[in-house]
Structure 1
């Protein structure tokens, strides 16, 4: 298969053909956007994108959930080396680290038992925390209840040992039989190298003062730790890059699980106040990323008894993947897709197994807009929660709770920050049983946004309304420019009169934001590469949106690289789809000039007019 901008067919990714090379000259082009703690990076050529996606080498910098920042890589490597394991994966908290590992292992297959071994009286909080995993739990109190013989453990059993201290020699269980032994401790171990029966060890990571700032999974099983790495990208319980310089991996002392670094501060309370006022909400919770917020909602609502979720519209790729790929008891959970205007199909899709309906106010990347009033009328009638990702619209343009939504979710890394240097997420709601459940889950897993990220976000909110108004103005202007340009074939933006969602957007939204997708009239590989690889004036080629400065990317290649043509057709766009996230620049003329320069490089295929 020949991919856009590739003059010869790209071979399949094979490590023997393409050994990972961190010294490729292409990597010199891969620079961070947003400074020291930037959340994205420049991808200035198609060759760089193809090489990365085909496995020739890892990127040094990239979108913050998908590519570990060099500082994060160094810290994880130091933890792994110090603790005598091949892998270390950092998370936003120790409880979140354990939860993500247990969710992965416990639901690999149906009927897997989680045998919890504990010494003292197990607190109600621990019972609640483990119940979140939705696995069969057997509790055994050491020195009170006799342990079965090692031969009695099933090879599918997970043995979770709750331990205090760092010394693996003091563990009351020195063999796991055929089961898999996981240790959850309040301290890092000196080394697990001589303890082959311990497959995983989870613990807090502290700062220099001994306060918890995150959590780590230390692991020996390559496959599982690789899958955990991929799940962290998708599910979003990330460790903030801002905390890497504060971490003290040499601290082997016990760390309190209740840490000032992971609890709500003045900045958190002020952010929640601002957002609840903007969004007509009663309360809010902050998370380490937008995907973490979505993940926690899904984990709360989807159960074995009610596994089905319905998604409306073509959603952001990570949301789409998470909704389609969630697993409980070894079975992929049910999902169904309906178009934004197909209310009849939506009502037909809702049944007694439906856990929730999920949509985006403005979908990414095609800009479709759901009629939230009509959708919420249906979901209320069937008593099904409606969850709305309002990231592209923001509360400046739409307040979904006022339109009948039950939960509203944001990535705060986008328009609210605008700096490309903050990572975080949020859920807003009105009071009720669902709100109480989410608060409990948030507390049990320590899913709070870290203080450094909260302070970063708080400093950006002062001028948010003015910036968002400019985003709206600039987005419409660029969309109109693209519509009139002879090199452009199609433009997807709800602010344009010919967009399928234009009428709904005019009723529902104050403005239509600034994320625009389009295709070239001449999108054959040579033309596509000429347009993309050349200069774009002040426009940076980097994959995110909501930036104060304009960014663009080849959306399908970045988000759906390995999708087949048929899969892309189902999603509603071609492999050559481009996306521009227009910034809030006060003078847009340079951006328009950059677009004009880039589009002038498009040319017809030889032999065509």
Structure 2
């Protein structure tokens, strides 16, 4: 693992950059420095597994072995900490690897309370892997925080939420949940993938850990698989770094470079994603073939007031059902799309469409999906940054007259 001196050196670098930057500046400069030997404006891709030592155990700038720390990954991790206003960022080989690291903070007999409307991969990790190790999971609706209060026990050690949730776009009041967790010493982790730190910063609202599937909006170009954690405190960041180092689920230097490059345009992209999505959500809401539209930017969303209070924009994710309630209609619609691409994932510059019950949430048992409202006619859209009229025309022709 990288030594104490290395951590001190990098902390000094971060501290030099801790000025009161606005977010649009942070995505480019936050936690960053020019490469010291050449003055390179962009961080180089350090394709090395190990680092030379002048004498045994004495490290040069704190780098020893790239599993413990790599300069390219470190630049990304410092950027992540900066844009989320956290103490330490960590970059992983996937979003699920990041979730896995958080759960490894727990011990057998500990309990996790998670939001019920949850990404299928996270649900699978919880119920099919970690439940085998005597970690207990409860899934509750967080639309009313009283439901959380009733479920908390002396064994509750972690609360896990998404907001907005995937795929039903429910919101969770992060500040209210933090007010329940903090006095009891319960860790609060927030999956901020849909919103990104451009829209909401959970650590400022009382969360302890923020998680991202950096594959999505942070990378932004559908060309990398990556995950991220940002810890509120140095102590928690150090505990998570040990898990990362010991388990080895790190992000490689080239992928780190791609995510870091993506973050530089995050503000511009999220503005366009949000602008396009709001207009399309309004269009869908008025279409006779559409049943219900799930988008927090709509005044019809039951938590629209919370959205306007907690989020600085409404994001690029929309889900909707068909007025017929027929699965066949949703499949026919998806097959007719021309500009939207039928594919897994989200958050890239291109618009994607997805059938949750058959794709991203297929790992959730059908009974559970029905209970949550993930119906067989539900479609999820990741609205990209293409021309708005082209996207609207595509939806219109796919829905038909």
Unpaired segments ≥5 residues, structure 2: 1-46, 51-62
- Aligned ranges 1:19-418 → 2 under 5 Å: 261-301=66-106, 303-306=107-110, 308-327=111-130, 330=132, 333-418=135-220
- Give the drift of 1:561: 3.7
Alignment correspondent of 1:599: 399
Are the counterparts in 1 of residues 79 and 260 from structure 2 also a CA contact under 8 Å? Answer: no
Separation in 1, partners of 2:74, 2:130: 34
Assess, with a 3 A threshold, how the Cα gap between structure 1 residues 574 and 462 changes in structure 2: closer, same or farther: same
TM-score by length of 2: 0.80
Q: 1 CA distance for matches of 2:272 and 2:333? A: 27
Using a 3 Å threshold, how does the CA distance of structure 1 residues 512 and 313 change in structure 2: closer, same or farther?
Answer: farther
Structure 1 residue aligned with 2:11: none
Map of 2:348 onto structure 1: 547
User: What's the offset of the Cα at 1:556?
Assistant: 1.2
CA separation in 1, counterparts of 2:201 and 2:333?
Answer: 38
Matching residue of 1:112: none
Query: How far apart, CA to CA, are the structure 1 residues paired with 2:161 and 2:194?
Result: 12
Q: Shift of the alpha carbon at 1:465?
A: 1.0
Offset of residue 449 of structure 1: 0.8
Unaligned stretches of 5+ residues in structure 1:
1-208, 213-257, 602-609
Counterpart in 2 of 1:224? Answer: none
CA 478–353 in structure 1, closer or farther in 2 if over 3 Å, else same: same
Cα distance in 1 between the residues matched to 2:365 and 2:250: 38
Cα deviation code 1:111-133 (max 9, x no counterpart) = xxxxxxxxxxxxxxxxxxxxxxx
Closer, same or farther: CA 442–560 of 1 in aligned 2, 3 Å:
closer
- Distance in 1 (alpha carbons) for counterparts of 2:90 and 2:365: 38
User: Scaled by the length of structure 1, what TM-score is found?
Assistant: 0.54
- C-alpha deviation, 1:510, in angstroms: 0.2
Conserved? CA contact 1:388–1:407, under 8 Å: yes
- Name the counterpart of 1:509: 311
Does the C-alpha gap of structure 1 residues 378 and 564 become closer, same or farther in structure 2, counting only changes over 3 Å?
A: closer
Distance 2:244 2:266 in 1: 27
Residue of 485, 490, 498 corresponding to 2:287: 485
| Shift of residue 528, structure 1, vs aligned partner | 3.7
In 2, are the aligned partners of 1:326 and 1:333 still within 8 Å (CA)?
no
Note if 1:589 corresponds to 2:389. yes
3-state SS, counterpart of residue 104 of structure 2: helix
Could you say what secondary structure the match of 1:363 adopts? Answer: coil
CA displacement 1:467-504 (0-9 Å, x = unmatched): 11111111111111110111101111111111122111
Aligned to 1:537: 338
Count residues in correspondence. 344
CA distance in 2, matches of 1:578, 1:408: 27
Q: For residues 103 and 151 of structure 2, what CA distance do their matches in structure 1 show?
A: 18
Query: Partner of 2:278 in structure 1?
Result: 476
Q: Distance in 2 between matches of 1:565 and 1:445?
A: 33
Q: Summarize the Cα distance change of 1:436–1:331 in structure 2 as closer, same or farther, 3 Å threshold.
A: closer
Larger Rg: 1
1:178-197 Cα shifts (integer Å, max 9, x gaps): xxxxxxxxxxxxxxxxxxxx
Distance 1:564 1:283 in 2: 36
Does structure 1 conserve the Cα–Cα contact (< 8 Å) formed by 2:87 and 2:234?
no
CA distance in 2, matches of 1:406, 1:529: 40
Please say if 1:421 is aligned against 2:253: no
Deviation readout 1:367-421 (Å, 9 max, x if unpaired): 1111111100000121100000101000000110000000001111101112111
Label 1:528 to 1:470 Cα distance change in 2 as closer, same or farther (>3 A): closer
- The whole-number CA distance in structure 1 between the counterparts of 2:166 and 2:288 is 25
**Is the Cα contact below 8 Å between 2:327 and 2:376 reproduced in 1?**
no
For 2:48 and 2:277, locate their aligned partners in 1 and report how far apart those are by CA, in whole Å.
47
How far apart in 2 are the matches of 1:559 and 1:463? Answer: 27
Provide the C-alpha distance between the structure 1 equivalents of 2:210 and 2:174, rounded to a whole number of angstroms: 12
Aligned counterpart, 1:559: 360
Question: For the residues of structure 1 that align with 2:326 and 2:171, how far apart are their CA atoms?
Answer: 30
Q: 1:383 to 1:589 in 2, by over 3 A?
A: same
Q: Hey, what does 2:32 align to over in structure 1?
A: none
Task: Write 1 or 2 for the structure with the bigger share of helix.
Answer: 2
Q: State the Cα distance separating 1:355 from its structure 2 match.
A: 1.7
The offset of 1:361, in angstroms, is 2.2
Compare relative contact order (CA 8 Å, sep 6+) and give the higher one, 1 or 2. 2
CA contact (8 A) 2:94 2:227 kept: yes
Q: Is the 8 A contact 2:295 2:319 kept in 1?
A: yes
1:565 CA displacement: 4.8
Q: Distance in 2 between matches of 1:383 and 1:261?
A: 33
